[in-house]
């Protein structure tokens, strides 16, 4: 493997796994630890990776809500499985909306590269990760950017979304219950999410088991607005049955 190929491999692996471990990568590639460290230093200099203790993380995961790297790493195995299961639901969708949120960030590197895809997002990390994809036509919503999530909100974002018709929206949430629906603490975030759900022909929720039975301040959608809920295998069977009874497909990954 040439140095340029190795460095590209390192960037791709960091984006897919969320983090690189120097020792593990050195062993996998049969390359000296010092060489990997030099590669990471060079990639950091080019703004592609950020060095952390023992390795590196992709820049798309820096500075995210509650520290992007920490949130993205939380329940990372579950989130990776959710992202793969959600991507399998793309079917023939030509246009998709990717909501802000750490779980949906895991979808970015799993999107197909062999077909044209129009992506609309309010999440800056998602836009950065997809901007150079030759098969992606990217639309980044404008607005005030929240410093915790790097998501655009308020009337600029909702105004743009209100004029769009999107095949499929992948949504995140702070909480969901059958009685109260999908909720989030911030009214500005709720407005964007609500507009995205209204603009989409189909809506899929990605939510790990910790989001269920949780009610937050603002409702942005009801359970009946969803086609599918993608969650992890740890969700209580009674919860699964309740959402299925409400007419929503539940996929456990």
| Ordered per-residue pLDDT tens for the chain, 253 residues | 888 889 989 988 888 888 899 999 999 999 999 999 999 988 887 777 888 888 898 765 544 434 444 455 555 678 889 999 999 999 999 999 999 988 888 898 899 999 999 999 999 999 999 998 999 999 999 999 998 788 999 999 999 999 999 999 999 999 999 999 999 999 999 999 999 999 999 999 999 888 999 899 999 999 999 999 999 999 999 999 999 999 999 999 9
Write out the two tokens for 109. 């590197």
**Alpha carbon distance 212, 66 (integer Å):** 20
Contacts with 237 (C-beta within 8 Å, 6 or more apart), sequence order = none
pLDDT of residue 60: 55
The reported pLDDT for the residue numbered 57 is: 86
Q: How many CA atoms lie within 13 A of 166 on its CB side?
A: 31
Burial classification of residue 203, based on how many CB atoms lie within 10 Å of its CB (0-12 exposed, 13-18 middle, 19 or more buried): buried
Give the number of other Cβ atoms within 10 Å of residue 76's Cβ: 15
CA angle 26, 27, 28 (to 5 degrees): 95
- Nearest 5°: the CA angle 247, 250, 253 is 175
Residue 72: its pLDDT value, please?
A: 53
Question: What pLDDT does residue 109 have?
Answer: 83
What pLDDT score does 172 carry?
96
Write out the two tokens for 132. Answer: 């150079």
- DSSP notation for 46-98: TTSEEEETTEEEEGGGSS-TT-HHHHHHTTHHHHHHHHHHHHTT-TT-SEEEE
Sheet hosting strand 181-184, strand order edge to edge: 175-177, 181-184, 218-221
- Residue 48, pLDDT score: 79
d(CA 174, CA 111) in angstroms, rounded, equals: 24
pLDDT of residue 75: 57
pTM surpassing 0.75?
no
Per-residue model confidence (pLDDT) at position 230 = 98
Which pLDDT does position 61 carry in this prediction?
53
């Amino acid at each position: 493997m040439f140095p340029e190929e190795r460095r590209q491999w390192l960037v791709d692996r960091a984006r897919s796994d969320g983090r690189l471990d120097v020792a593990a990568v050195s062993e996998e590639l049969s390359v000296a630890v010092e060489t990997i460290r030099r590669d990471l230093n060079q990639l950091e200099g080019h703004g592609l990776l950020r060095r952390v203790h023992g390795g590196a993380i992709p820049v798309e995961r820096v500075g995210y809500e509650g520290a992007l790297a920490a949130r993205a790493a939380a329940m990372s195995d579950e989130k990776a499985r959710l992202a793969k299961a959600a991507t399998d639901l793309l079917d023939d969708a030509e246009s998709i909306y990717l909501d802000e949120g750490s779980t949906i960030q895991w979808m970015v590197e799993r999107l197909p590269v062999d077909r044209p895809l129009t992506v609309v997002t309010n999440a800056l990390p998602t836009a950065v990760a997809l901007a150079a994809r030759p098969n992606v036509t990217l639309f980044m919503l404008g607005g005030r950017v929240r410093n915790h999530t790097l998501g655009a909100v308020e009337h600029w974002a909702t105004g743009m979304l209100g004029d769009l018709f999107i095949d499929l929206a992948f949504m995140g949430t702070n909480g969901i219950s059958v009685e109260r629906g999908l909720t989030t603490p911030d009214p500005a975030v709720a407005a964007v999410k609500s507009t995205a759900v209204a603009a989409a022909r189909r809506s899929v929720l990605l939510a790990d088991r910790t989001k269920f039975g949780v009610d937050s301040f603002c409702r942005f959608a009801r359970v009946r607005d969803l086609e599918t809920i993608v969650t992890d295998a740890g969700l209580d069977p009674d919860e699964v049955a309740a959402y299925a009874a409400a007419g929503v497909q539940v996929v456990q990954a």
